[in-house]
Amino acid sequence: MKYLLTALLCVGFFSGAFAQKYFTKQASIKFESEAPMETISAINQQVVSVLDSETGDMQWSALVKSFRFDKALMQEHFNENYLESDAYPKAIFTGRIVENPPYDEDGEYAVVVKGTLDMHGEVNDVEIPAVIYVRDGVISASSNFSVLVADYGIKIPKVVKDNVSEEVKIYVQAQYQAL
Amino acid sequence: MKKIIGIISILILAGVAYGVYKYYQPPADTASKKADYSLEADAFLAEFSTDESQADAKYMDQIVELHGEIQSIEKQGETYLVQLAADNPLSGIAIEFQPNQDLSQYSAQDDISLRARYSGYLMGAALVEGVIIQK
């Protein structure tokens, strides 16, 4: 908790009026690996996301061990062999919306979020397309993007190269509430 | 010789069958697991307030039985997400239940007893693979 709060402090989430800070503890991240032999997917619905509507700063934090798979063996391999969740328990995106939308006007705003994605001990600069939805004062966000597993130091053994894709699709979604 | 080939064939088939079974096996049902810890939600959360790192290490991947009051409940996709009541909105306990769990009879402020696997701490303790238990 204190690490997360420290991170939030660093990006100034608690520096201004609380009315412009939004958060959720039930954002979702789904990933999908489409390989010739099979498609593997998992979902995490306990993702924490915070948004500062004044600055456009946002952060997404996910516990790696909260991803749910359909098959026990895949969940085990994901945690033990690929993401090594005991050593790297969290994946964190920290970034800023490039052109912050008007949060006081209902609408659907296509935006770009620039920031860093910290996963499996590797930190990379990323630029992610996203959509911010404002409806009756409720702010939501969604995004689809892809990551190369090699960028995050995740090695796919040759024996399963037809089962696990080198590129993984990520789908994220959040509905915020005022802090 | 035929007998030996027959035995080897049976062993190979058994190995393949076991491999297929393991490959398609769904995650184990938490209802069939024995709890490592059983306590009130307040007491569980208090351990994190005292020493987050110690509590995180103690409970990681452990099966925990908790009893507490529901602060919010929501069905998202095929699973129910429950937050247990906490004084601080930046803390609390979040549980994702197994898809086979029907919590349609529960609502905010109801008491609930549950068993789930602790998966870490972000803005509060997170537990997954939850099941309802009768106390």
In a domain, B64, yes or no: yes
Task: Using the predicted structure, report yes or no on whether residue A18 has a pLDDT greater than 50.
Answer: no
In a domain, B14, yes or no: no
- End-to-end Cα distance, chain A: 16
Separation CA A57–CA A55 (nearest Å) = 5
CA distance A103 to chain B (A): 23
In a domain, B42, yes or no: yes
Per DSSP, B85 falls in state -
Q: Residue A35 — very low, low, confident or very high, per pLDDT cuts 50/70/90?
A: very high
In a domain, B73, yes or no: yes
Residue A53, Cβ neighbours under 10 Å: how many? Answer: 22
Q: pLDDT digits over A129-144, tens only? A: 999 999 999 999 999 9
CA distance A4 to chain B (A): 7
CATH number at residue B88: 2.40.50.140
Q: If you measure CA to CA, which chain A residue comes closest to B93?
A: A25
Interface of B with A (CB under 8 A): 22-28, 48, 52, 60-61, 74, 76-77, 79, 81, 83, 89-92, 94, 96, 119-124, 126, 128-129
What Rg value do the Cα atoms of chain B yield, rounded? 20
In a domain, B7, yes or no: no
Task: Using the predicted structure, report yes or no on whether residue A161 has a pLDDT greater than 70.
Answer: yes
Q: Closest Cα to residue B124, out of B76, B87, B99, B69? A: B87
Residue with the bigger pLDDT between A119 and B87: it is A119
In a domain, B88, yes or no: yes
As a whole number, mean pLDDT of residues A42-62 equals 97
Per-residue pLDDT at A14: 46
Separation CA B112–CA A124 (nearest Å) = 42
Domains and CATH numbers, chain A: 2-10+20-178 (2.40.128.110)
User: Consecutive sets of 10 residues in chain B, 135 residues long: mean pLDDT of each?
Assistant: 88 85 84 96 93 97 96 94 81 94 96 97 95 88
Task: Using the predicted structure, report yes or no on whether residue A165 has a pLDDT greater than 70.
Answer: yes
In which domain, by residue range, is B68 found?
30-132
- Least confident segment among A86-90, A162-166, B95-99: A162-166
Reported ipTM:
0.86
Quick one: angle between helices B41-50 and B52-59, nearest 10? 130
Pairwise CB contact (< 8 Å): B77 & A43: yes
Per-residue pLDDT at A43: 97
Per-residue pLDDT at B89: 63
Q: Please return the burial class of A87, using the count of CB atoms within 10 Å of its CB with bins 0-12, 13-18 and 19+.
A: exposed
Q: Are B115 and B68 in contact (CB under 8 A)?
A: no
- As beta bridge partners, residue B80 has B75
Q: Closest Cα to residue A98, out of A123, A138, A125, A127? A: A127
Per-residue pLDDT at A179: 86
Per DSSP, A80 falls in state I
Burial pattern B67-88, b for ≥16 Cβ within 10 A else e, equals bbebbbbeeeeebbbbbbbbee
Count how many domains chain B has: 1
Taking every pair of Cα atoms in chain A, the longest distance, rounded to a whole number of angstroms, is 54
Using the Cβ of A37 and the Cβ atoms of chain B, whether some distance falls under 8 Å is answered with no
Per-residue pLDDT at A6: 47
